[in-house]
Structure 1
Amino acid sequence: MKLTYKGKTKDVYALEDGNYLLKFKDDVTGENGVFDPGANTVGLTIEGVGRAGLRLTKHFFEILQEKEIPTHYVDANIEEATMTVKPATVFGKGLEVICRFRAVGSFLRRYGMYAEEGQPLDAFVEVTLKDDDRQDPPITEDALDMLGILTKEEYAVLKELTQKIANTVKEELAKKEIELYDIKFEFGRLADGQIVLIDEISGGNMRAYKQGEYIEPLKLEQMMLEN
């Protein structure tokens, strides 16, 4: 097993069979000790958040598998906080795709002249470049195409998958009377060029609320997976 990448919230190892192993850590993104799924620095360490994130990720990826929505997921080992995945290449140096159901976070900071906090949004899809130095700038479909990061045809697939997956997560949360405000995804291409969901679907990647109260990532996992 060879370490190929050390990330903020997980490390990536190459396996001999050509697949990869993701090792989930207890670090979450944020600033000044406050969790923020959109931040590009590790803000705090929460014991058990790695396994919790993996447990929820496994839960969602297996639901997507049943719906025949393409992902890189192979299997997961909760005890070891690891997930085996198919090899996939990212777009450019990496994109983050956010689907928003309510106006909060960076959306509100940017568009606060027109948007009110918490106002409903219709599964709004926003793409940002993974670029810590430039604070993950948003990028449009035209710019993605012109810069050779992905084609307009690929963008259409990306957008459709984002909305389909986000709505699946939203429906699952709603079963526990939890409302999804926004969620962040990453996508890649498999060897055959197919666009698939990669990385994770955990509490650390979304903002979820119950009766107007924000739910911390670890608490969200407990609420979602309790019987």
Structure 2
Amino acid sequence: MTDNAVEFNGQTITKGDLLYEGKAKQVFATSDPAILWMHYMDQVTALNGKVKEEYAGKGQLNSNISNRLFTYLASKGVTHHWLGSVSATDELVKKVDIIPLEVVTRNYTAGHFVSRFGVEPMQKLTPRVQELYYKSDELDDPFMNQSQAISLGFASEADLKTIFALADEVNELLVALFEQIDITLIDYKLEFGRLADGQIILADELSPDNMRLVDQKTGKSLDKDVFRQKQGDLRVGYQDVLERLEDVLK
């Protein structure tokens, strides 16, 4: 096979036209209308894409971490879009209609939550906090409440109930997993999509690009905060996360 065609579940899947390019991934059509081809780029961004840099190998790290986390969640019964890896940086995913809402789950105070409410960082939040944002780079992903999301037609009340329940399930599983490898899951972003039959499933990626992860022994960030705060090479922390996950999930 070639870089643009792979054997998958007994059929040849060919990469087609570029459908979308985000801050860290490209999404392509394929010869199967129900499958998309996702490529992780080596680009890292901050301030909603206003600051960009290239880090060789970063895409491979994110792809590997994300795939392992999706596989772990699937083993626990969580339905998601990931189907399988086709290279170190590329994977096949189920085609979904992305719901233009981002769910941020906060287990500890950090980031904008600290500046918005004037609280100390790294304080445990009980209960955990779930926030909703409108997925729009042009508008800098503004905060949105549930009634706004419903009124604007992005999701129904039943959809939001499903989304928040899925987010809670994922949070419980990920917090427990990271605890096993001495990492605290501070907060993170999830995205969801609808399959052709209307089922809502977990989508996008699960990586240090959209999570805050802190080493419990050293207190060091193992995520994109290293880039945001100019603390060094973010790939060091990403590699550490990957190696710990590989060890516990092998």
Q: Same fold (TM over 0.5)?
A: yes
- Is residue 117 from structure 1 mapped to residue 121 from structure 2 by the alignment? yes
Cα distance, 1:148 vs. partner?
1.0
The 5-angstrom pairing of residues 42-191 of structure 1 reads: 42-79=51-88, 81-91=89-99, 94-112=100-118, 115-121=119-125, 122-191=127-196
Structure 2 stretches lacking a partner, 5+ long = 1-15, 223-236
* 3-state SS of 1:214 partner: coil
Cα distance, 1:25 vs. partner?
0.5
* 3-state SS of 1:132 partner: coil
Structure 1 distance, partners of 2:238, 2:58, is 7
Cα distance, 1:184 vs. partner?
0.9
Structure 2 distance, partners of 1:90, 1:2, is 18
Structure 2 distance, partners of 1:11, 1:129, is 21
- Is residue 4 from structure 1 mapped to residue 19 from structure 2 by the alignment? yes
Corresponding residue of 1:16? 31
* 3-state SS of 1:203 partner: coil
Corresponding residue of 1:219? 240
Structure 1 distance, partners of 2:43, 2:90, is 15
Corresponding residue of 2:199? 194
Identity %: 28
Structure 1 distance, partners of 2:160, 2:181, is 32
Cα distance, 1:218 vs. partner?
3.9
Deviations 1:87-125 (A, max 9, x none): 10022xx2211111111011112111xx32111113311
Structure 2 distance, partners of 1:142, 1:220, is 37
Question: Would you say the 8 A contact 1:30–1:44 is kept in 2?
Answer: no
Question: Would you say the 8 A contact 1:49–1:218 is kept in 2?
Answer: no
Structure 1 distance, partners of 2:103, 2:144, is 10
Structure 2 distance, partners of 1:178, 1:16, is 40
Question: Would you say the 8 A contact 1:8–1:42 is kept in 2?
Answer: no
Structure 2 distance, partners of 1:219, 1:46, is 16
| Cα distance change of structure 1 residues 180 and 119 upon mapping to structure 2, 3 Å threshold | same
Greater relative CO, 1 or 2 (CA 8 Å, sep 6+): 1
**Most deviating of 131-140 and 151-160:** 131-140
The letter for the 2-side match of 1:51 is: Q
Cα distance, 1:40 vs. partner?
4.0
TM-score (norm 2): 0.81
Structure 2 distance, partners of 1:153, 1:104, is 30
Deviations 1:30-60 (A, max 9, x none): 14xxxxxxx3445322221111111111111
Structure 1 distance, partners of 2:49, 2:128, is 23
Cα distance, 1:166 vs. partner?
2.0
Structure 2 distance, partners of 1:68, 1:178, is 23
| Cα distance change of structure 1 residues 137 and 165 upon mapping to structure 2, 3 Å threshold | same
Structure 1 stretches lacking a partner, 5+ long = 32-38
Cα distance, 1:4 vs. partner?
1.1
The letter for the 2-side match of 1:102 is: Y
Q: How many residues align?
A: 215
Cα distance, 1:10 vs. partner?
0.7
Question: Would you say the 8 A contact 1:9–1:28 is kept in 2?
Answer: yes
